[in-house]
Amino acid sequence: MWRLPTIYSEDLPAVDVLAIAAHPSNIEQTCGGTLLKMAEKGYRTGALDLTQGEMGTRGTPEQRMEEGDVAAKHLQLTWRGNMALPDARLENSLPGRMTLAGEIRRLRPRVVIIPYWEARHPDHYNASTLCYEACFLAGLAKLDDNLPPHRPGKVIYAAQYASVTPSFVVDITREFDRRMDALLSYHSQYGPAGESPELYPNPTEIRERLAAVARYYGGLIGAKYGEAFVVKETMAVDDVVSMGVRSF
């Protein structure tokens, strides 16, 4: 079942940056600041959640869909959708790859942000492989659908919680508070909880924890807050004189 939110329109042109993740709120937490920064630069941004998070202890899929629309407005997204694949049972299946490849062809993103390929939650690492292979399939001219082929020019991995050295960090100092507003729009997940505070910390604690992570990555580039990413390719530099981040 495919759900299209109110911010979708049939005449939607191609998006420039598309973030894909397993569950609602994953995108906000790992690359929301980057999406907001790109939107404010004039790029068309999109977010695609693969599941509705229906296996989560708190909240309902309907609540998460409503919360996701609120978060989308905070991030100034052009488009948001949900594939409604089974939560906690996400697989890199042929039907899933084909469906996702069709959406990539329809949205025609120049850059796709996907989860890092190692994670504690199986849905996250399965989502990473599923997304990468769907991006590849989308570029095959003989793929059996009615849409023209399209392959993103760049796939980047959101590595905010991976124990790896990032390939690059995006300065989200100006965007951090609004990224947190987007994340905390998921009241069913991050609202106050009277029971099990160790499992469900209050919004203040969540903000402090995520600020600490963002401060660490921001510090690597001399900024207050940052979001970390990994690419598998070697990145080219045309001008070594104007390279960012000082050595001393």
Going residue by residue through the chain, which has 248 residues, state the pLDDT in tens, using 9 for 90 and above: 344 443 444 566 689 999 999 999 999 999 999 999 999 999 999 999 999 999 888 889 999 999 999 999 999 999 999 999 999 999 999 999 999 999 999 999 999 999 999 999 999 999 999 999 999 999 999 998 789 999 999 999 999 989 999 999 999 999 999 999 999 999 998 877 656 566 677 899 999 999 999 999 999 999 999 999 999 999 999 999 999 998 88
Residue 91 lies in a domain: yes
Q: Say if CB 115 and CB 131 are below 8 A apart.
A: yes
Residue 238 lies in a domain: no
Burial of 245 (0-12, 13-18, 19+ CB in 10 A): exposed
Residue 12 lies in a domain: no
Residue 243 lies in a domain: no
Number of other residues whose CB lies within 10 A of the CB of residue 105: 20
Count of structural domains within the chain = 1
- 111-115/154-158 β-pairing: parallel
Residue 240 lies in a domain: no
Residue 4 lies in a domain: no
E strands in the chain: 17-21, 45-51, 79-85, 111-115, 154-158, 168-171, 226-230
- 17-21/111-115 β-pairing: parallel
Residue 3 lies in a domain: no
β-bridge mates for residue 115, sequence order: 158
**Which amino acid is it at 120?**
R
Give the dihedral sign, CA 175/176/181/186: positive
Q: Check which CATH number belongs to the domain holding 49 and give it.
A: 3.40.50.10320
Rounded-to-integer distance, Cα 5 and Cα 20, Å: 16
Query: C-alpha distances in angstroms, 244 versus 143, 169, 173, 220, 247?
Result: 41, 11, 16, 12, 9
Residue 236 lies in a domain: no
Boundaries of domain holding 90:
17-231
> At 117, is the secondary structure helix, strand, or coil?
coil
The Cα angle at residue 9 between residues 6 and 12, in degrees rounded to 5: 135
All residues at 6 or more sequence positions from 178 whose CB lies less than 8 Å from its CB, including other chains: 33, 36, 74, 75
Q: Say if CB 56 and CB 193 are below 8 A apart.
A: no
